[in-house]
Amino acid sequence: MTKKTKTILHCIECGEETTHTINYLGDHIRGIQCDKCNSKVELDRRELMTVFTEDFIDRVLTKPKRLTVELVKVIAPLIPFLPKRLMKEPRKVLKDVFRAVKGENEKEATEKK
């Protein structure tokens, strides 16, 4: 289903704000045309998908590194204030934390029933 909408945008060709017609194909913009100079910008959905897919894959592959950098920035200033046991026995402490959280979640679930 195609539909058209009028709006005011800045036209690169005219160099001013003019009325533009936006053509939709379903929910996606198909093209934009300046009503004053008739310059057109067409959007090829397949080409956009290629660009977005490449960007998405790159973001997925770099996510672990970005998370590590963020965690180091957040945790590094806190290290002097953490208990020594947490540094020596992180696995045991994490198990205790998960057990406590799981116990609270189970307690909340039984209270709601």
Q: What are phi and psi of 38, to 5 degrees?
A: 65, 20
Tell me the domain boundaries of the chain: 2-43, 48-107
pLDDT at 96: 82
pLDDT tens string 25-82: 777 788 999 999 999 988 777 877 887 788 888 888 999 898 888 888 888 887 777 7
Residues in the chain: 113
Cα of 59 vs its chain's centroid, Å: 10
Residue carrying the six token digits 């592959």: 61
Measure the CA–CA gap between 85 and 83, rounded to whole angstroms. Answer: 5
Read off the tokens for 111.
């209270």
> What single-letter amino acid sits at 13?
E
How much is the pTM?
Answer: 0.42
SS3 96: helix
